[in-house]
């Protein structure tokens, strides 16, 4: 999703049993075919795995994935502040999904 205007840049359809965090690289690469290069990818804590971070680093895309708290390592104050800054950009994406959810009365596509 474009963080300036809220335009959808890439989508994919998968089974409900597949976690959407598996598609960060696919949607990012698909969007890289546009004329404007991707400078930074913003994502919530669900995308915080090493494969996604390695993909971004390998493609020279800035990491805007929120940091994740764990039982072995608590977030530092700096990481908490970073997450807050990222959430101020991510609200554009969440706003789109919230509006579409209201407009469609929470209807989801059903496939045979």
* pTM for this model (two decimals): 0.72
Residue 96 lies in a domain: yes
Whether 4 is in a domain gets the answer: no
Examine residue 39 and state whether it is found in any structural domain, yes or no: yes
Assess contact for 56 and 63: CB atoms under 8 A: yes
Domain housing 44? 20-103
CA 45 to chain centre: 9
Coil, strand, or helix at residue 35? Answer: coil
Give the C-alpha separation, 77 to 83, whole Å: 10
Asked whether residue 14 is assigned to any structural domain, the reply reads no
112 lies in some domain: no
| Residues 86/66, Cβ–Cβ less than 8 Å | yes
pLDDT confidence band for 103 (50 / 70 / 90)? low
CA 82 vs. chain centroid, Å, equals 15
Total domains present in the chain? 1
Mean pLDDT value across residues 45-74: 91
- 110 occurs within a structural domain: no
In a domain, 59, yes or no: yes
Domain presence at residue 89: yes
* pLDDT tens digits for range 61-71: 999 999 998 88
């Amino acid at each position: 999703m474009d963080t300036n205007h809220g335009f959808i840049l890439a989508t994919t359809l998968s089974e409900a049993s597949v976690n959407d965090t598996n598609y960060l690289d696919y949607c990012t690469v698909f969007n890289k075919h546009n004329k404007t290069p991707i400078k930074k990818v913003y994502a919530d804590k669900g995308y915080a795995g090493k494969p996604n971070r390695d993909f971004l680093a390998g493609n020279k895309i800035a990491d805007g994935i929120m940091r994740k708290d764990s039982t072995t390592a608590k977030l530092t104050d700096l990481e908490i502040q970073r997450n807050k800054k990222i959430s101020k950009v991510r609200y554009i994406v969440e706003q789109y999904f919230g509006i579409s959810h209201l407009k469609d009365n929470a209807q989801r596509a059903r496939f045979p």
